[in-house]
Amino acid sequence: MIFTAKFLHSWLLFLQSKQLSVSQIDKSLKFKMIPINNLSNLMKLKFLCLFVVSLFSQTLVAQEQETYGKFIIQDARYNNSDISETALDEGRYLVFYNTKEKEFFFAIVNAKNDNQSFGRVFNFETKSNAETDTEYKADVFTFNWSYKHSFDDRRGTADVSFIKIYKPAGVTFSVSIFLENLDHLEYKGYMKGSIKVKED
Residue type, 184: H
| Beta strands 155-167; 34-35: pairing state | unpaired
Label residue 188 by pLDDT band (50, 70, 90). Answer: very high
In tens, the pLDDT along 126-168 reads 999 999 999 999 999 999 999 999 999 899 999 999 999 999 9
CA distance 167 to 7: 53
